Chain A
């Protein structure tokens, strides 16, 4: 069916969020705010060692404590909770919801307590005595690949979760046939080769709301209701149903107000299966709220991938070839999407450049650490970082302006759709336009002069530039194991109000506002006549969820489609009342009228009312009522892009880096609400800069997370940032009717390499060509003192 364009009225405006009145008054309902009569509290006893065999668990003291309902060991839980499933097609070792024999990371659950209140539950968990026979711990993924000092899962020799998957030029789509001719020739013909090992280190996502679950099985209804701080309640419903042998009709999953996700709340966690399983066993409501220090080890981490990068080029800067050997440290287990995340790094290896020959190999390795999974950007910031760092090294080697080296190699704007060597089909782009705007908006030439003037005073100032392209608007179904569509439902109520439901379940993205803006324009009604429902599978019948910057590009498009269907039917009712042709009708200002005859307009509400008491039913209308469903599945992903420019100064005496300036140009296609888009970009920038400058998950040799609380893991604060300067170009995507590409992750893409590029530039006088993140002052100070990177 035809899809009408979204009319520019409220769409494109800086509309204040409709979510905010409740949130600024403390009236939101997050999981921990859910209270049910008779509810008991759950606490977990977790392993405090990284690898070991459980020799004994003594739960007697805990079980004897007044107020303790029951204590479960791993063996008890295994009677009604199966191993934790994953969604990717990769082989995966058995992952018990609660460890039975062996613990493989510090933080893995070993016992579960149910008690009358949260303090008692914690007390009882602390009273459980667990003894271990320690096993050798492996934390270095490159050492793990040798099988030393430990093989974590017996069926995965040398700890290889995914062993050496090749991709790129000369590799068949199934990876089985590999022809090295082109890539070898590229490097044989090269006049200059850049080679560097780089680390994209491990991060802790740290949504401000830790995870939490309330599970309530009602035996009388044979219904399990589960509230969870999740990005995707519909996936939760399907997974929990599968786990407990329930029909999907027996599960109601609710994502209430969700206090941030950043990718770490995509995964369906052991705790969600365990609480629902225990609630079903006991027939009572249960609550578990993650403590922050628990979240540090129990919620999936992000990034953690090593790249051996080689770039082949001519001396004039023309790229000939690029090789990446990727080693991803995925921690102790495969989670829902874990194994797929580094494949996105592979996919985006060409970045914004025309590279004749590309070869990427990926190895994923188990270590005794918390498992990784998606973290804002999920695979794409890693690719961007490696390529953009490499491009900067090449520019320095060739003594070229880093902007001009990039310009020389861009995929040209008339080359789209463009298929990369990795097989990604970039939908649309104009990289030179984004670069040019970045250079102009930042006054690049002026910045260079300012940098040089500062250096003449002895200050260590550097400039960094990074381009990026990411893959967003995740769909179609071939690219996502859950299905790559989104669902929407639109009802015109009898009183003319519009109720719409979306499977895009937000956690701060403001969908209640942007989606209402779209519908307001589509139907010509006021914003406050529209209600957006989400996050409850009993209200929103189907859905996928919110990740991969897909809310607008996929969820918004589904809503638009459902709106088109309802509007077409409503037009039939209106046409019959007005004795007019439906093609001539105009929906505006809360009325429906014949074009050119606004005086004879019918109130929108009157037509809605008629649709529910249609006497007589108009010709060509089969049934009363005004509601419609739609499923939108895009034909392709979207590929937003941009350019991030930074200026960094390093304190010569202390090595402390300071971000002086950040100019971001982002192209996310058409924007529904620029105010919300800015907020998304700001947040992404803060996380991208945070990775470069302050954040790092550090493990010691024993597999202990040394940065295991906010006292040790530096969260970015307001004082860490200058005022961000945002600009945008608009290159619509052809893959959805809105032309929107998605913007949730963009900020994390270009900012990280830009900051590191600026830092290396600032230290170039000391012979520094590369420094691994994060940019710890001590590390930079040593470089200034003459140490090598």
Chain B
């Protein structure tokens, strides 16, 4: 067993874990943060995307021990003080989700995308979510949602 200390959504979590435990299972099984989903076993689908030290990462492709000492943010930690993140709001407004399974990972990727590029073109958005699969929406409403969020976040910055 290995000791880890990981700050998840602002709270320090200490645990003894198997060295082989995937980060996504640490979040889901040990911390009961089940908003992060597992959609594949080859790191393609992005349903498990979380932020590690501010960067989006696929939590099915990391061991919990690799996140030792890191700051992890999951979908549950995105809303602040009961206020949805602009991307959460925009996914709701634009019908950017149907079954909702890919949604947490998609939103976490989009947050990172807009942090890197606050004013992306449609093509840049489509390329930016290349690591996230959605089987329901055909992506168009997701693209709309990210565009809307980018606009709303720009308004706030003014």
User: Contact residues of A with B, CB < 8 Å?
Assistant: 16-17, 19-21, 23-30, 32-33, 35, 118-119, 206-210, 257-260, 262, 289, 291-293, 507-510, 675-676, 678-680, 682-687, 709-711, 715-719, 721, 723-724, 747
Contact = CB atoms under 8 A, between A and B. Distances in A.
Given A292-B42, A508-B100, A717-B133, A26 B74 contact: yes
A32 B140 CA distance: 28
Contacts of B133: 208, 710, 715, 717
Nearest to A510: B98
Interface string B41-71: 1101101000000000000000000000000
Interface of B: 18, 20-21, 25, 28, 32-42, 44-45, 47, 74-76, 78-79, 84, 88, 91-93, 95, 97-104, 107, 122-123, 125-127, 129-130, 133-143
Contacts of B137: 679, 682-683, 686
Given A17-B92, A32-B38, 10 more contacts: A19-B100, A21-B92, A209-B39, A209-B99, A292-B39, A683-B136, A685-B138, A686-B135, A711-B42, A721-B140
Contact of A260 (B28, B79, B84, B101): B101
A410 B18 CA distance: 66
A21 B82 CA distance: 12
B41 A208 contact: no
B36 A710 contact: no
Contacts of B75: 24-26
Nearest to A715: B133
**Nearest 3 pairs of A and B residues by beta carbon:** A26-B35, A259-B101, A23-B100
Given A24-B88, A683-B135, A683-B137, A718 B142 contact: yes
Contacts of A16: 92-93, 95
A206 B42 CA distance: 14
Nearest to A676: B95
Contacts, number: 179
B42 A260 contact: no
B152 to A, nearest CB: 15
A260 B134 CA distance: 10
Interface of A, helix, strand, loop or mixed by DSSP: loop
29 contacts: A17-B92, A17-B95, A23-B100, A23-B103, A24-B84, A24-B91, A24-B92, A25-B75, A25-B84, A26-B34, A26-B74, A28-B35, A30-B34, A32-B37, A33-B28, A119-B21, A206-B135, A208-B47, A260-B99, A260-B135, A508-B100, A510-B98, A675-B95, A679-B98, A679-B141, A682-B138, A709-B41, A710-B45, A719-B130
B40 to A, nearest CB: 4
A676 B94 CA distance: 10
A683 B137 CA distance: 4
Contacts of B138: 682-686, 716, 721, 724, 747
A685 B140 CA distance: 11
Contacts of B122: 723
Contacts of A709: 40-42, 44
Contacts of B126: 717-719, 721
B44 A710 contact: yes
B125 to A, nearest CB: 7
A24 B99 contact: no
A511 to B, nearest CB: 11
Contacts of B25: 118
Nearest to A506: B99
A24 B103 contact: yes
Contacts of A685: 138
Q: Which of the listed residues B37, B39, B40, B138 has the most CB atoms from chain A within 10 Å of its own CB?
A: B138
A19 B127 CA distance: 28
Q: Which of the listed residues A23, A29, A718, A721 has the most CB atoms from chain B within 10 Å of its own CB?
A: A718
A292 B97 contact: no
Contacts of B40: 292, 709-710
Contacts of B28: 32-33
Given A19-B100, A26-B74, A710-B44, A724 B135 contact: no
B36 A508 contact: no
Given A16-B92, A683-B98, A709-B40, A208 B45 contact: yes
A155 B20 CA distance: 48
B99 A258 contact: yes
Nearest to A675: B95
A262 B95 contact: no
Given A24-B88, A207-B135, A721-B139, A291 B41 contact: yes
A507 B126 CA distance: 25
A435 to B, nearest CB: 23
Given A119-B18, A257-B100, A25 B92 contact: no
Contact of B95 (A27, A507, A678, A717): A678
Contact of B99 (A118, A508, A676, A721): A508
A570 to B, nearest CB: 33
B101 to A, nearest CB: 3
A301 B18 CA distance: 36
